[in-house]
């Protein structure tokens, strides 16, 4: 029986980046492209996007079985051109991305029956719309945050595969407007593995004074993409990053 992890509150910030890297992108003449899942940086305990064209990316995601969900940080690249000599064009040709259609599938066709898959889709676990808001300037780039895997789907998977280690393919198509006209991205396919290997308990909370944590985890969500040092608050409830005694 897996219990949810308690996390520290983190700040979220983000804008601006480019480069066609990571995962699989497919499409044609869309006005906005999703180019990668950004590897966020931690500054003063917050979740921060650097805004650099060379910003790091994650080619493959991982989420712990205890997590509340998986956060993707897609990077949007506008293919809309503008005349830099006309300042009004910047606002007129800025795309406002507002939501994304999310589909989650399983590359291993033997994991679930056709009936299970149909039920997960009908219940909105593997097919849903996620809301967000981010401006993408013409011929520019921006980062966003989208929850693409929710806890109820993790629970559904663990009910049949308690150990986790299940591969998922998340498909994202973002939607928005530019000067009142609809604008869309291509479909962006991204692999995420559900695993039990991210949250590592070091003992009962709080840990002894002076304990050095091997990892404080992903700054946006400690329970995805990299290991995090945790402590046990009782009844299997993990606190991540772990509490460490101060005296």
Please tell me the predicted confidence (pLDDT) of residue 28.
55
HSE-up of 148 (CA within 13 Å, CB side)? 32
β partners of residue 178? 181
Is residue 135 scored above 60 in pLDDT? yes
Q: Where are the alpha helices (DSSP H) in 43-146?
A: 88-92, 114-122
Stretch 167-175: mean pLDDT: 98
Give dist(CA 126, CA 123) in Å, integer: 8
Q: What's residue 186's pLDDT?
A: 96
Q: What is the pLDDT of residue 45?
A: 65
Which domains occur in the chain, in start order?
A: 6-79+90-196 (2.60.40)
What average pLDDT does the structure give for the chain?
A: 86
Q: What share of the chain in percent tops pLDDT 70?
A: 87
Per DSSP, which regions of the chain are E strands? 6-7, 24-26, 32-37, 41-43, 46-48, 61-64, 69-72, 74-78, 95-105, 127-136, 141-143, 146-150, 166-178, 181-184, 187-195, 199-204, 228-232, 238-240
User: Does residue 127 surpass a pLDDT of 50?
Assistant: yes
pLDDT digit string, tens, across residues 203-235 = 999 999 999 998 888 989 999 999 999 999 987
In DSSP terms, 109 is beta-bridged to none
Given a cut of 50, is residue 57 above it in pLDDT? yes
Tell me the three state secondary structure of residue 195.
strand
């Amino acid at each position: 029986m897996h219990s949810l992890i308690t996390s520290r509150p983190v700040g979220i910030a983000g804008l601006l980046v480019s480069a066609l890297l990571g995962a699989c992108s497919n499409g044609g003449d869309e006005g906005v492209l999703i180019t990668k899942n950004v590897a966020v940086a931690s500054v003063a305990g917050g979740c921060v996007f650097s805004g650099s064209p060379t910003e790091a990316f994650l080619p493959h995601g991982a989420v712990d079985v205890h997590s509340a969900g998986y956060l993707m940080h897609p990077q949007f690249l506008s293919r809309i051109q503008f005349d830099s000599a006309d300042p009004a064009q910047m606002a007129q040709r800025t795309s406002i991305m507002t939501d994304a259609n999310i589909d989650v599938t399983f590359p291993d066709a033997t994991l679930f029956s056709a009936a299970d898959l149909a039920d997960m889709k009908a219940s909105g676990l593997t097919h849903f719309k996620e809301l967000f808001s981010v401006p993408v300037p013409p011929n520019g780039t921006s980062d966003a945050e989208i929850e693409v895997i929710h806890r109820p789907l993790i629970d559904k998977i663990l009910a049949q595969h308690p150990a986790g280690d299940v591969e998922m393919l998340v498909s994202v198509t973002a939607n928005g407007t530019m000067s009142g006209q609809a604008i869309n991205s291509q479909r962006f396919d991204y692999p995420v593995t559900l695993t039990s290997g991210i949250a590592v308990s070091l003992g009962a909370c709080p840990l002894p004074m002076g304990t050095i944590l091997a990892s404080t985890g992903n700054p946006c969500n400690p329970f995805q993409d990299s290991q995090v040092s945790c402590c046990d608050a009782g009844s299997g409830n993990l606190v991540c990053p772990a509490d460490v005694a101060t005296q």
